Amino acid sequence: MRQSTDRRAVRPVGPAAAAVSTMLTRAWSLPARRNFVAIERNVQVPMSDGTVLLADHYLPVTSRPAATVLVRCPYGRGMPFSLLQAQLVAERGFHVLLQSCRGTFGSGGQFEPMRHEIGDGQDTVTWLRGQSWFDGRLATFGASYLGFVQWALAMDPPPELRAAVVYVGPHDLSRVVYRHGVFALVGGWQDLFLEQTLEQYRALAGRDVPTRMIIGPWTHVDASTRSGPAFAESLAWLDRYVGQDPEDPEPGHSARIWVGGARAWREITDWPPAGTPPYRWYLGPDGTLAPREPAAGTDVSFRYDPADPTPSAGGATLSLAAAGVRDNRPVEQRPDVLVFTSEPLDEPVEVIGDVTAELRVTRDNPNADLFVRLCDVDRRGRSRNVCDGIVRLAAADPLSGTVRVGMIGAAHRFGRGHRLRLQVAGGAHPRFARNPGNGLVEAPAKDFVVTRYSVQHPSALVVSQTDAKAAAHA
């Protein structure tokens, strides 16, 4: 039976929310508002198992048919989701259904993260098909967990699904919680879901799905509030595929990335960009980082003590106060951190693409972590993190040999007079849980085991480097 909202309690958006919307429209240079918006609160959406989920329906006040944007959220239907995920979208000519996930904010059932999102998403689409205002065109929208539920629905995409806008959203949360075997207590360059964002882009582009990726300088937490240009482009994406005058989908993919250091946006097609062969910066026994392999020299060593774990500085975490780019000098002065630094650059060097450390390492404990970080050292000596990675070594791994530590990727320009710096350590706490050194995930302090590392040569930082003059030294 097709249902109508005619007899339900529908109210216009309040003046305060409308004022904030107007402010953001100006600040972010968003497309002009096309229509006013009314809201139907606490809409009941039945699931196939009898559970009822609650949603708020944002109705565009327009006489034209309007596509529907589905937003599924476990964090409530109030601010900021009501504004950023619903009202701003509805003001551009879309129905928006902002639904609370199972077991959250009035929705029935028990919230079990990730477990019910595939089925509940499909059941919601089944319910939408019976609504008089649903015209058969569906899109999804949202950030973080609101992005995960979009991937859950896309596991078996309903025929009505025409477009999706996923902000910093993972498709596999377990890989984020355990980064290469290391437990993390936590799509911008400092977003903890960056690795999966790049993977999603490669997978969709490889299938000729019309795909657009935007990666900015933001962290996971501030992606929604700092990504005004991306939000404007997201609205344009919705308009293109499910708007009032949609265009025919065209195969193709592109990306817009923020290049740190250069402080500029760059358009690319592939990730990693084509035509940038790997370039090696070799670690020297005297703490150097150079494009030529050093002569034989003594190994460099350090000691990791889980009772005094190497601290983390910034990076991709969920902490609003501590995430992102930070000055790493206090950490680099510790004896449990090896630092390898290049000479000041004669010309700028751009690193755009995958970043990896290939380290020849010997350790005296089979149970150990290896953390590496690439930093940009400016003319004043400030060392700011660009990207990093960690790997957990165990008894099955040889005590001596080459260890590859992926640092996901970067888009960064090291300016003239700046220096590249690579950190090597046994951890980064509390961003990653300390390794107690005894094969357990957690252990009392009395059972901690110290690990001693030795870095041999040749070891190298491997980057996709686009500067022709620097590459000529290879």
> In CATH terms, is domain 278-471 a member of 3.40.50.2000?
no
Confidence of residue 294 (pLDDT cuts 50, 70, 90): confident
Lowest mean pLDDT among 151-160, 239-248, 403-412: 239-248
Asked if 423 contacts 338 with a C-beta cutoff of 8 angstroms, the reply is yes
| Per-residue pLDDT tens digits for 162-176 | 999 887 666 666 555
Stretch 418-423: mean pLDDT: 98
H/E segment holding residue 215: strand 211-219
Beta bridge partners of 413: 350
| Per-residue pLDDT tens digits for 422-465 | 999 999 998 889 999 998 888 889 999 999 999 998 999 999 88
Give the CATH fold of the 10-167+210-250 domain.
Rossmann fold (3.40.50)
The pLDDT of residue 1 is above 50: no
3-state percent breakdown (helix, strand, coil) of the chain, nearest 5: 20, 35, 45
Distance from the Cα of residue 41 to its chain's centroid: 32
Every domain of the chain and the residues it spans: 10-167+210-250, 278-471
Confidence of residue 181 (pLDDT cuts 50, 70, 90): very low
The pLDDT of residue 401 is above 90: yes
H/E segment holding residue 45: strand 36-46
What's the whole-number average pLDDT of the chain?
87
Which residues 6+ apart lie within 8 Å of 31 measured at CB?
A: 92, 232, 235, 236, 239
- The dihedral through the CA atoms of 102, 105, 108, 109 has a sign that is positive
Confidence of residue 178 (pLDDT cuts 50, 70, 90): very low
Phi/psi for 350 (5° steps) reads: -105, 130
- ∠317-313-200 over CA atoms, to 5°? 35
Q: Return the amino acid letter for 278.
A: P
pLDDT of residue 186: 33
- The strand pair at 253-259 and 264-268 is best described as antiparallel
Confidence of residue 4 (pLDDT cuts 50, 70, 90): very low
The pLDDT of residue 469 is above 50: no
Q: What are the angstrom distances between the C-alpha of 7 and each of 3, 71, 152, 195, 423?
A: 10, 24, 33, 47, 64
What CA–CA distance (Å, rounded) separates 172 from 151? 9
Torsional class of 85: left (φ above 0), alpha (ψ -120 to 50), beta (otherwise):
alpha
What CA–CA distance (Å, rounded) separates 435 from 441? 7
Stretch 132-157: mean pLDDT: 92
The pLDDT of residue 190 is above 70: no
Residue 462, burial from CB neighbour count under 10 angstroms (0-12, 13-18, 19+): middle
Which residues 6+ apart lie within 8 Å of 78 measured at CB?
A: none
Q: Copy the structure tokens of residue 91.
A: 């003001």
E strands in 314-382: 337-341, 349-363, 368-377
H/E segment holding residue 167: strand 161-167
Phi/psi for 228 (5° steps) reads: -55, -50
| Per-residue pLDDT tens digits for 18-71 | 888 888 888 888 888 999 999 999 999 999 999 999 999 999 999 888 999 999
pLDDT of residue 14: 77
Percent of the chain with pLDDT over 70: 88
The pLDDT of residue 471 is above 60: no
Whose tokens are 């995960």? That residue is: 148
The pLDDT of residue 213 is above 90: no
Q: Return the amino acid letter for 276.
A: T
Percent of the chain with pLDDT over 90: 56
Lowest mean pLDDT among 189-193, 206-210, 341-345: 189-193
pLDDT of residue 378: 97
